[in-house]
Amino acid sequence: MVAQKQQEAEHEQILREMQEQFGPVFEQSPDGVYLYLDDRHKICNDKLAQMFGLTKQEWSAAPNFLADFVVEQDQEKVATNYQRHVAMLTRPVAFRFRALRKDGSAFNAETEMIPIAWRGNPVAYHFVREVK
């Protein structure tokens, strides 16, 4: 229980640090941008939240990234890319997937998933755009 609380506090601190460090990119990018540490610790810019029909706070509070933001048929593709590239800190990868909006409608999205390490933790740094 103590270790879990320590990890929670560390992840919260990591998010604050990353938000400060990556703030200019979040504000100026023409794409939706997010940083994902785990389902409880993720942040995004306004463009990304709006793409999904949400506020930044609603997007960050969503409990299950895959179930909340990726159509069921593409969840394995997103999870596999995360495991192969981010969790293992190997290399960036770009791919398309079908995303879910708050209202349940789906849209085609393209992402660049960039693995970074922050304080020894793997973090997914994403740029996302809607594609027609």
Asked whether residue 7 carries a pLDDT value surpassing 90, the answer given is no
Q: How far apart are CA 126 and CA 92, in angstroms?
A: 10
Give per-residue pLDDT as tens, 51-94.
999 999 999 999 999 999 999 999 999 999 999 999 888 999 99
Cβ atoms of 19 and 11 within 8 Å: the answer is: no
What is the pLDDT at residue 8? 84
What is the pLDDT at residue 131? 97
With cut-offs at 50, 70 and 90, classify the pLDDT of residue 1: confident
Give per-residue pLDDT as tens, 84-122.
999 888 999 999 999 999 999 999 999 999 999 998 999
Number of domains the chain is built from: 1
Pick the residue with more confidence: 5 or 31?
Answer: 31
The DSSP secondary-structure symbol of 70 reads B
Asked whether residue 5 carries a pLDDT value surpassing 90, the answer given is no
Order of strands, sheet of 106-118, starting from the edge strand that comes earlier in the sequence: 41-44, 32-38, 121-130, 106-118, 93-100
Q: How far apart are CA 15 and CA 71, in angstroms?
A: 26
Q: How far apart are CA 120 and CA 44, in angstroms?
A: 21
CA angle at 17 for the pair 11 and 20, rounded to the nearest 5°: 140
Cβ within 8 Å of residue 74, ≥6 positions away: 97, 98
Domain that holds residue 29: 2-130
What is the pLDDT at residue 81? 95
Q: What CATH number is given to the structural domain containing 43?
A: 3.30.450.20
